[in-house]
Structure 1
Amino acid sequence: MQGIQKFEIKPKLTRLNPIPTHLKSKLKFPSPIRAVLFDIYGTLLISSSGDISHASLFSDRSESSHTRAIKIGQLFRKCGYKPSRQLSVHLISGTLRQKITERHKQLRVKGMEHPEVDIRDIWEESLNTFWKGKLLLEPPSPFFIEPLALQYELAVNPVWPMPGFPNIIRELRDSGLRIGIVSNAQFYTPLILQAICNKQISQIGFEENLCSWSYKLSEAKPSINMFKTPLTQLTEDQIGVSEVLYVGNDMLNDIASASRAGCKTALFAGDKRSLRLRESSPEANIEPDMVVTRLSELKILKQNKGAKND
């Protein structure tokens, strides 16, 4: 990837602690389970915003606009761009949101019910808009788009590993369970995981052919198409869809969509920031098979792998 190195990521991570929720664990085992698929933001990663940000403002709202302007100028210059003094944080986030909305409309016309963008395309369009509006002092180079998108995401949406990650992945994988990812994500999401763990995705314990990233599909959860690739692979490997457990923090995007895809479900309720109960959404009015408040509670899966409950 252009201009991206792992050493740029880890020093930028911000230590966060989960905020407890009011939910209690429900650990009745929905056996038999032979594979586990995970959401990322709000499940394996603590996220300051509770999700992937795309176009948020800086997370520290206590800062003055002048301080934020200095930070955004430093960020742009570090990534190889020369902003004018008029390029504000609000202007950047507003432009990003506008470009995302426009792209979503284009994808819906093509039949995508739950469209997803590739944030690199959004940044490229936005930088060209800034250049035309004289908000950049030099023509924007595409070479620096990935570092800029990554650094901006880490600035506006700090993340930190959820307690128990990545150890739980390794433990479940070592017990013989197949492990994958189904996540609304961007190109930098696997890079952040790799930087946190200092390992490649496969070395963490995930099978890459069981990983589905929304930015690659131009479609996002709650679309059940997000589950197609890993579930097809598992079916070819003689693992039934009903033997797959999906773990996520959002009753609509995660639990309802995974249930419609045929999976068993575990609601992760370990952080108040990211817990999305979606009580006003009829589609989310279902009961998850499990509720876990700590990732370590998933160890029950390796204790009972493949065994049916009485």
Structure 2
Amino acid sequence: MEINSLKDLILKNSKPLIPLKVDSSLLPDIQQINFKGIKAVIFDVYGTILISGAGDIGCEVKCVDALYNTFKFFKIKNISFTKEKLWNIFYDIILNDHQQKKEKGILYPEVNILEIWELFLDRISIQLNRKEIQKFTLYYELAVNPCWPMPDLIDVLIWLKQKGIRLGIISNAQFYTPLILETLLGKDLQSLGFSLDMCVWSYLEGRAKPDIFLFEKLEKVLDNCSPEEILYIGNDRLKDIWPAFLRGWKTILFAGDKRSFRWRGNLKKLANCRPNGLILKLSQIKSIL
């Protein structure tokens, strides 16, 4: 992978974003506990430490338009499919991948998006080499889901590192996720305090949150920590808080951006799942720990 050219692509196609305030009427009433004794802090990425311009990806029109712009950027012409047909081909490939994994017993399957794009481009008779597919994938992602670091992120990471707290990540992610993080923050993950063996990326496991497997995998690295000494911070009560809650971890729900805040109050299986704390800014972590 040509890291420098991919980083250049990120820098040229990213611009500052600001988090949007969550309406106070949507915030749950959370009785915060004492977080003393925390030895490890694990973060979600999109919507927690990165502002996610898309919130939840799901707008077909925006995605298809971004695809056509990506074709244009790579000087790919003479596309003989309608927008609707292109979307159906792409979506069917993802559904088929999910179905194959579900047949193997994976409840929450995750794709490797490079493989999906490779199949898609082949299906519509466009030939790109592996490096070109990486750039194509990244360019499209930057268009549909622009990202920017959450305010105070680096300051908080430095503070946690200085306190000797181990840092990790569990994220629904693709190959470009750590690359986007490092490029926009100007430092590699290890320099920011993260242990690479404590970073669990869904695409490498073929499983997506809220699959508890991802949390169990990280626990194996944290064998010297009891569950109540691990804190997970995320913006989604289903995908972040629930699996961590099931493992007995401490949890904080991040409500710092209305585009990505997900309380999901109507889900019955979450009835007994309440976070141990709620924050509106990452800087509040310093006063809690």
After TM superposition, the score normalised by the length of structure 1 is: 0.84
Q: Within 2, Cα distance between the matches of 1:233 and 1:294?
A: 28
Deviates more, 1:106-115 or 1:226-235: 226-235
Q: Within 1, Cα distance between the matches of 2:270 and 2:90?
A: 29
Change (3 A) 1:70 1:208: closer
Which residue is 1:308 aligned to? none
Per the TM alignment, residue 76 of structure 1 is displaced from its structure 2 partner at its CA by: 3.0
Which residue is 1:209 aligned to? 197
Q: Conserved in 1, the CA contact under 8 Å of 2:232 and 2:252?
A: yes
Change (3 A) 1:83 1:261: farther
Change (3 A) 1:124 1:267: same
Give the 3-state SS of the residue equivalent to 1:84 in structure 2. Answer: coil
Which residue is 2:234 aligned to? 248
Per the TM alignment, residue 29 of structure 1 is displaced from its structure 2 partner at its CA by: 2.8
Q: Within 1, Cα distance between the matches of 2:284 and 2:233?
A: 12
1:267-278 aligned within 5 A: 267-278=253-264
Q: Conserved in 1, the CA contact under 8 Å of 2:241 and 2:251?
A: yes
1:174-189 aligned within 5 A: 174-189=162-177
Q: Within 2, Cα distance between the matches of 1:122 and 1:209?
A: 26
What residue ranges of structure 2 are gaps of 5+ in the alignment? none
Deviates more, 1:291-300 or 1:199-208: 199-208
Q: Conserved in 2, the CA contact under 8 Å of 1:214 and 1:226?
A: yes
Pair 1:159 & 2:137 matched: no
Per the TM alignment, residue 232 of structure 1 is displaced from its structure 2 partner at its CA by: 1.2
Change (3 A) 1:143 1:245: same
The letter of the residue matching 2:90 is: L
Q: Within 1, Cα distance between the matches of 2:142 and 2:83?
A: 15
Q: Conserved in 2, the CA contact under 8 Å of 1:26 and 1:292?
A: no
Per the TM alignment, residue 70 of structure 1 is displaced from its structure 2 partner at its CA by: 6.3
1:35-46 aligned within 5 A: 35-46=40-51
Which residue is 1:306 aligned to? none
Which of 112, 136, 149 is equivalent to 1:148? 136
Q: Within 2, Cα distance between the matches of 1:160 and 1:264?
A: 27
Structure 1, residues 255-308: CA drift from partner, whole Å, max 9, x if none?
A: 011111221000000111101111121222221100000000001244xxxxxx
1:15-54 aligned within 5 A: 15-21=16-22, 22=24, 23=27, 28-51=33-56, 53=57
Per the TM alignment, residue 251 of structure 1 is displaced from its structure 2 partner at its CA by: 0.5
Structure 1, residues 27-54: CA drift from partner, whole Å, max 9, x if none?
A: 5433321110000000011111214x49
Give the 3-state SS of the residue equivalent to 1:160 in structure 2. Answer: strand
Q: Within 1, Cα distance between the matches of 2:59 and 2:102?
A: 20
Which of 89, 92, 97 is equivalent to 1:103? 97
Q: Within 2, Cα distance between the matches of 1:240 and 1:71?
A: 49
Q: Within 2, Cα distance between the matches of 1:8 and 1:225?
A: 33
Q: Within 2, Cα distance between the matches of 1:228 and 1:200?
A: 25
Change (3 A) 1:162 1:92: farther
Change (3 A) 1:54 1:143: farther
1:11-90 aligned within 5 A: 11-21=12-22, 22=24, 23=27, 28-51=33-56, 53=57, 57-58=61-62, 71-77=69-75, 82-86=76-80, 90=84
Q: Within 1, Cα distance between the matches of 2:16 and 2:30?
A: 25
Deviates more, 1:270-279 or 1:90-99: 90-99
Structure 1, residues 38-84: CA drift from partner, whole Å, max 9, x if none?
A: 00000011111214x4995537x9xxx7xx6862332233xxxx332
Count of residues paired in the alignment: 283
Change (3 A) 1:56 1:218: farther
Q: Within 1, Cα distance between the matches of 2:149 and 2:237?
A: 21
Q: Conserved in 1, the CA contact under 8 Å of 2:44 and 2:234?
A: yes
RMSD of aligned C-alpha atoms? Answer: 2.3
Pair 1:5 & 2:10 matched: no
1:97-136 aligned within 5 A: 97-131=91-125, 136=126
Which of 249, 274, 283 is equivalent to 1:263? 249
Per the TM alignment, residue 219 of structure 1 is displaced from its structure 2 partner at its CA by: 0.3
Q: Conserved in 2, the CA contact under 8 Å of 1:20 and 1:270?
A: yes
Which residue is 1:296 aligned to? 283
Q: Within 2, Cα distance between the matches of 1:150 and 1:92?
A: 18
What residue ranges of structure 1 are gaps of 5+ in the alignment? 303-310
